[in-house]
Homo-oligomer: A and B are copies of this chain.
């Protein structure tokens, strides 16, 4: 880092205004002038700081791009005063993009002395979640690919002079007060290279960059900053070059989603240690001078709830600009109370009005009291406006009668009428109080409670709403603005007598099943097949981090569980028609409804495997358990399972663990056995895997397996698949099963068996256990023992195992 001693850089973590190059460029030019006065060598601005990053098809508006290009020039001119500036913006080249329109690039301009030194084009472009860089921008990677292709086409020959991305990535030498410094400038995703075929940072470091700048427009998401520190650390352990990350602040949006940028710009030394970390959401330039004795600082303390709330504040601020007041329907429930308190915290109490809208006698004295109390605690204007007369007028006009679902929805829409009319009368907005669980299952009324300018809680499950309520009380207002009885009460929409929300939301300290179901479907891309499988094998509570006993308390029996699962999956899929028309939702989680989760109006679908599992678990069915060692799984295993899976309702494949008394049989690690099992049998229908022996490194004897499956499938007839050799001598009590297996004679008499008979091992019916069937297989050459022997002797095994397994064994050097 000696080369950099005395170099002064400034990180301008600006709040980019999307779609407003006029405002952004004016700010940039001012900051350049001001940095020069402070003696800065290089000032760095974030990615797409002239235009904003999430501006949709504005990038396709030629006149808009013309305007930005002119302003780029003005920024370059501003460096004439003798400073280097790096800023993210659009550039355009004289060729067509893949949509047939002018080709534009997501670029970093490096300018000094009024001249452009380089225009660096983004190499790796994200196309997941809300990102679709490849829609708008032609990447450096494609340029390299195209050049290669153009050359080879015109030349006709191949294999010469070919180029790829790495040839197009080069450090730029710039003059500074400490002499020439070679800088590598990359954009955002370029540093998150792990899943790409290229690593721009590494290439630039290899080509001699003294310093890498990454200019980003990188949204805040849950625990992302932790991940970034780790990614940089890993990168630099290989590249050993100081690394500067500059990110913007402010919120941008896709209409359906509000995306928050936290800044948190950071300077890392060549070991990935932090030299400077700019505070999140602070939009200013921060100066730094490289010195020989620059010591790493401690990472900023990260508190998940605090970070989450900071993101909420940023998003809400962007949606309710200065001068706009907001109405909130305050019911006395936790969602509306939390929304109201949050709005007051962000906008100030003068800008928030609460309206309580009771219907006849449906609203309890308790919720009415809480609503009044919350408003009073917040010091905001509070009005009570009954909806009864509006509901009656609608009922009279349409014949919708009380005690019907339609009548409940009329009530919800009547409340919207009041909020909408009030808001419009005064030029204000009204807010939507829906949380993520309600949005997920369509638990709300379109044009009713699912209405408003913005749904600040739309990406929080109920437990998170409670955490935020608590945070508002304890850390923001530092008093009980929201009474604990509000936070803890059982949620209800109060649209009919005795109504309660049909969800297990958990509470402040305990996760709720339906909360976590929503997270599984959204953040973790699971579906009911997975949930049902985990339920059956008894790990669902562990996977969803639910308290033990949660499911048993909710669903006394399996039929109830499955019915609830199907019901809400159908609701989850069908209610997308409501989400199509729902208000903007912020992104806080790993995946939020809106643009972040891309959905389509489709009829609900249950996978074949779900239906198989459902049948096996709730109705009388025939289940076969295949519990072989499968070490490794061979073609004959596959043939047997294929045959069986067609003839039973469910085949359970459960590779047996290593017996504590035979540790020598642990030829390879369990993880390899898991992968090979899935490779061999993964595409079979009617099949479920029970990998608990491998996962927990235990050996479950057959009688315990039986007990387990008996419990999981109480209505099933359960068969165990065993080789004919294991029953030899059975008539005289001398079979392997009877002699060596735990509780041998008991299971011999008590369990059902399918016995595999093949030319090398014919079964004498007299040896068979009392409850057994025989499965005859023609060709069964090759036991696992034989395969292992051959591998040891470097002989081919392709006649014995599936091709994927052969490749895996060779590649991982197993059984050696």
Which residues on A are within 8 Å of B, measured CB to CB? Answer: 17-22, 52, 54-58, 60-64, 66-67, 69-71, 73, 94, 96-100, 124, 126-129, 132, 134-135, 141-142, 145-146, 148-150, 152, 158-162, 164-167, 194-198, 252-256, 319, 385-387, 389-390, 392-400, 404-406, 409-410, 413-414, 416-418, 420-422, 424-425, 446-447, 451, 453, 525-527, 529-530, 576-577, 579-584, 597-603, 605, 607-610, 682-685, 804
Contacts and interface: CB of A to CB of B under 8 A. Distances in A.
Contact of A56 (B132, B420, B599): B599
Contacts of A396: 389
3 tightest Cβ-Cβ pairs between the two chains A and B: A19-B602, A56-B598, A99-B128
Given A19-B605, A255-B601, A527 B61 contact: yes
A71 to B, nearest CB: 8
Contacts of A141: 145
Contacts of A529: 63, 67
A425 B400 contact: yes
Nearest to A391: B393
Contact of A70 (B146, B162, B683): B683
Given A396-B389, A601-B584, A453 B577 contact: yes
B417 A394 contact: yes
A161 B196 CA distance: 21
A525 B96 contact: no
Contact of A447 (B57, B162, B420): B420
A471 to B, nearest CB: 27
Most B Cβ at <10 Å: residue of A164, A256, A414: A164
B418 A64 contact: no
24 contacts: A20-B602, A21-B605, A22-B605, A52-B602, A57-B597, A63-B607, A66-B683, A70-B683, A70-B685, A94-B804, A96-B195, A98-B128, A100-B194, A146-B197, A148-B162, A152-B166, A389-B397, A390-B390, A398-B421, A398-B425, A400-B421, A409-B420, A410-B417, A420-B447
B149 A165 contact: yes
A63 B609 contact: yes
A451 B451 CA distance: 12
A598 B64 contact: no
A676 B535 CA distance: 70
A600 B61 contact: no
A255 B421 contact: no
Nearest to A129: B99
A417 B393 CA distance: 10
A580 B22 contact: no
Contact of A580 (B17, B19, B256): B256
Given A67-B529, A410-B417, A447-B451, 6 more contacts: A55-B600, A63-B609, A66-B607, A98-B196, A162-B162, A390-B393
Contacts of A152: 164, 166
Contact of A526 (B63, B73, B98): B63
A427 to B, nearest CB: 10
A649 B429 CA distance: 40
A83 to B, nearest CB: 22
B447 A683 contact: no
A682 B63 CA distance: 11
A97 B256 CA distance: 26
Contacts of A389: 393, 396-397
Nearest to A389: B393
Contact of A99 (B55, B67, B148, B195): B195
Contact of A394 (B54, B60, B418): B418
Contact of A67 (B252, B420, B609): B609
A473 to B, nearest CB: 31
B608 A67 contact: yes
Contacts of A579: 255
A129 B597 CA distance: 18
Given A390-B394, A410-B421, A425-B398, A525 B583 contact: no
A63 B197 contact: no
A598 B54 CA distance: 10
A473 B466 CA distance: 59
A781 to B, nearest CB: 22
A50 to B, nearest CB: 12
A607 B73 CA distance: 15
A598 B164 contact: no
Contacts of A159: 159-162
A282 B142 CA distance: 39
Contacts of A134: 127, 134
A52 B605 CA distance: 13
Given A127-B132, A164-B145, A54 B398 contact: no
A671 to B, nearest CB: 15
Contacts of A446: 420, 451
B600 A19 contact: yes
Contacts of A195: 96-100
A138 to B, nearest CB: 10
Contacts of A682: 66
A425 B406 contact: yes
B64 A607 contact: yes
